[in-house]
Amino acid sequence: MKVTMVMLSSIDGKTTQGNNKNVYVWSSKEDQEHFFSLIKKHNLIIMGRATYEASKSVIKLEKDKLRIVLTHSPKKYFNQFVKDQLEFTNESPKELLKRLSLLGYKQILLVGGSTINGLFLKQNLVDEFYLTIEPKIFGSGKNIVEGQLLDKCLQLISIKKLNKAGTLLLKYKINK
């Protein structure tokens, strides 16, 4: 199963502006277009609870597109479950991928956040990584990965300048 991770970051590596989890406030129009084009191309999207909470107001549930939220407390979200569209689980990444593979899924878009990214990277489950770097410095905020000690080598596949301000889209292959 191919897992593609996608993240947005400031130049100083922050995925949030301090405690503000709303990335749509500071991400460029071009990054948002890229992100939503990836969402459109994938029929399976995985995120963590905090990412879900921060973005649920913009999530548009669709038939033939399953979103899975990893959380320690899936029962807490029982009333938000939508069959074949929005699922909540506390499975480990490996257990989840095994189950999804048996259901016929071949590609996953991993949209974070930092804890989920760390879990998937630690278990060598990520194949490629899209990183948009916005020309901003925040000083504090969440990192791309939290909670794991990692030593991952990546190979740069492509670099694209998205706008005049200097927003960069990087695509990496994760060496396993």
Q: What pLDDT score does 148 carry?
A: 86
Instruction: Say how far apart CA 48 and CA 71 lie, in whole Å.
Output: 6
174 contact partners, CB below 8 Å, separation of at least 6: 121, 126, 127, 128, 129, 152, 154
Place of tokens 């979200």: 77
Q: Residues 32-44: pLDDT tens digits?
A: 999 999 999 999 9
Angle at 71 between CA 18 and CA 140, to 5 degrees: 10
pLDDT, mean of residues 3-22: 94
> Is-contact 88 77, C-beta < 8 A?
yes
Q: What is the mean pLDDT of the chain?
A: 95
Q: Residues 121-160: pLDDT tens digits?
A: 999 999 999 999 999 999 999 999 988 899 999 999 999 9
Q: What pLDDT score does 21 carry?
A: 84
Can you give the pTM of this predicted structure?
Answer: 0.94
Q: Could you tell me the two tokens for 11? A: 């130049």
Q: What pLDDT score does 147 carry?
A: 83
Other C-beta atoms closer than 10 Å to the C-beta of 120 total: 25
Instruction: Say how far apart CA 39 and CA 173 lie, in whole Å.
Output: 19
The percentage of residues in the chain with a pLDDT greater than 90, rounded to a whole number, is 90
- Whether 176 shows a pLDDT value over 90: the answer reads no
